[in-house]
């Protein structure tokens, strides 16, 4: 059985997960740019030329993008 902390997702899966769980219309480009700036988490691994992220890390990052209304 695979431990949930070992699961890694691709950028396409990350976008879908963020849109489903957090509800914001994020793009792959935004995640890559924020990762390069140090805002988003760095990929946890690579598979060939694909970057892979941990779902909990990518969701935590997405939640930091939401700001309260009127601020």
Domain ranges within the chain, ordered by starting residue: 4-64
pLDDT score at 4: 61
User: Does 1.10.1660 match the CATH number of domain 4-64?
Assistant: yes
Give 40: exposed, middle or buried? Use CB within 10 Å, 0-12, 13-18, 19+. buried
- Residues whose CB falls within 8 Å of the CB of residue 30, separated by 6 or more in sequence, listed in order: none
pLDDT tens-place string over residues 13-61: 999 999 999 999 999 999 999 999 999 999 999 999 999 999 999 999 9
Q: What is the pTM of this model?
A: 0.84
């Amino acid at each position: 059985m695979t431990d949930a902390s070992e699961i890694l997702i691709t950028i396409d899966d990350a976008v879908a997960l963020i849109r489903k769980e957090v509800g914001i219309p994020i793009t792959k480009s935004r995640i890559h740019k924020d990762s390069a700036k140090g805002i988003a988490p760095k990929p946890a691994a690579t598979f060939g030329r694909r970057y892979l992220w941990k779902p909990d890390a990518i969701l935590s990052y997405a939640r930091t993008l939401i700001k309260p209304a009127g601020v």
